A and B are shown apart, each in its own frame.
Chain A
Amino acid sequence: MKQLHLNRENGMVFDPRTGKRFRVNETGAGLLKGWQLGKSSESLLEELMEQHEISLNDAERYFQQFVRQCTLAGLPVPESGKSKSPTAVLRNTTAA
């Protein structure tokens, strides 16, 4: 994920391992940048909820949709994005 070339101004994403290029919107670019910075899924979900004033359920739905799109595109989605339910992570964190 850290190897991805991300241009936040125009949303262009380049995977240097495969040469594939993608375009993401501002929210997608924010998520990719967050992953590159090593942010956790719960922190990214919180940012989504805050920035777009949406519920946790909606944030999780959009988040998982993005993860699926990244996976289909062959992008290296971090384990925190793939294997755990962000809601569960967030809820666990909240509960703690």
Chain B
Amino acid sequence: MTAAPTNPITVAITGVAATENPGPGIGVARSLRLWAGPQIRLVALAYDAAECLALAGELFDHVFLMPYPGQGVESTLDRLKEIHAEVPMNFLIPCLDVEIPLLLAAKAQLTEMGIDSCLPSKTAYARRNKNQLSALSEKLGISVPETIVITHPGEIIPATKKLGFPLFVKGNQYGAKKVFTLTELQNEVEASTRQWGYPILLQQAVLGTDMLLAGLGNGRGGLSCGAVALRKEHQTSQGKLWNALTVQCPWLQDAAEAFVAETEWEGPFEFECLLGDDGSAWLIEINPRFPAWIHAGTLLGVNLPACLVGRLNQQEERVPDLIPAGKWVVRSICETVLDQDPMNQLISEGKYCHAENI
């Protein structure tokens, strides 16, 4: 594991929703706290006060409310400048897909402010977009289920004739829903385009078990600090991981290594794949961030968030550790009791600070 930092550092983390659909930021923060203890100051950048109440004063030293990414680069930068003036940040780890293009656009300004981040190039980011995944997958030696990009309602029926039912309706950034009839499909397309607009992707439904891999690209075509792979055993009603088993899956590892080599990916990523009962392997998505289950890897000896911050902090990289296969990863919930009321402060002032850190 990367050695703990010897200098005090402050890391800002997004995607900190502590709800039934947890954001990756929680796992990232837990991993960093486990790695560096009080030597690291953690700043949560949240979009919704209610979503991060449980973390206020527990895991994070500071919580700040941010404008939603849809409000644009300027709005995000202005808020980051305000926060930075109050709590100077060394590093920023974005944990939501939609933030990556925003931060890529603001990279120069962030560097000028002294905030470093680990982001892929614009080209690499675009190549793993869902509507370009088929082209990329050919280079990675793994298949993508047949996918048709829809830019107009008139293209729906011809696509269904090719794909048949059931199929998945996917937004280019977020969301995936399985539909079984034309009516269901048309309703879902309408709902999805209302929220995200076109294009919409229609994808052949492939049966199989979810196989997931989290990794960290070093920007030079290799992986940093190894990778963590899981087989999803049980999921929540929202399709989120509940229980999983660690695996050492050669085709998944090979595809991930081919991905970082092909795109020279820099920063965290997650491979979402399916393993068919007949042994066939399918690539479903490549997410440009850590997954919400990343802390499981840390508990098993591969702390990828620490590795990322260690790289940004110019620390020496260690030889990758190997995750043992056959370990159960179980997600559970717990209650938290707080002495202070973080909600009022968060809503009225846009920030919450643990009493000891004021």
CA distance A3 to B326 in the complex (A): 11
Cβ contacts under 8 Å, B250 to chain A? 17
Bound: A18/B230 CA distance, A: 9
B residues in contact (CB < 8 Å) with A: 209, 211, 230-231, 233, 245-250, 275, 279, 325-326
Q: Which B residues are CB-close (under 8 A) to A18? A: 209, 231, 247, 249, 275
Contact (Cβ within 8 A) B326 A17: no
Q: A16-B248, A19-B209, A19-B247 are in contact. Are A5 and B279 (CB under 8 A)?
A: no
**Most chain B CB atoms below 10 A, which of A3, A5, A18, A21:** A18
Closest Cβ of chain A: how far from B207's Cβ, in Å?
15
**Which B residues are in CB contact (< 8 Å) with A74?**
279
Q: Enumerate chain A interface residues (CB-CB to B < 8 A).
A: 3, 5, 14, 16-19, 21, 74
Residue of A nearest to B279 (CB): A74
- Interfacial chain B residues near A14, Cβ < 8 Å: 245, 325-326
A67 CB to nearest B CB, Å: 17
**With the chains together, A86 CA to B68 CA distance in Å?**
67
A17: B residues at CB distance < 8 A: 247-250
Closest to A16 in B: B325
Give me 5 other A-B pairs in contact (C-beta within 8 A), A16-B248, A17-B248, A19-B249 excluded.
A14-B326, A16-B326, A17-B249, A18-B231, A18-B249
Question: Could you say which residues of chain B place their CB within 8 Å of the CB of A21?
Answer: 245
Residue of A nearest to B248 (CB): A16
Task: Give the docked Cα–Cα distance between A21 and B230 (Å).
Answer: 14
Smallest Cβ-Cβ distance to A3: which chain B residue:
B248
Among A3, A19, A21, A74, max chain B CB count under 10 A is at A19
CA separation between A17 and B209, bound complex, in Å? Answer: 13
Task: Give the distance to chain B from A52, nearest Cβ to Cβ, in Å.
Answer: 30
Q: What are 8 residue pairs bridging A and B, where the CB atoms are less than 8 Å apart in the complex?
A: A5-B325, A14-B326, A16-B247, A16-B249, A19-B231, A19-B245, A19-B246, A19-B325
Min CB gap A69→B, angstroms: 15
Q: Tell me the complex Cα distance, A93–B245, Å.
A: 43
Tell me which residues across on chain A come within 8 A of B245, comparing CB atoms.
14, 19, 21
Per the bound structure, the CA–CA distance linking A14 and B245 in Å amounts to 10
A94 to B209, CA, bound (A): 45
Closest chain-B Cβ to A82's Cβ sits at a distance in Å of: 15
Bound complex: CA A16 to CA B231 (Å): 10
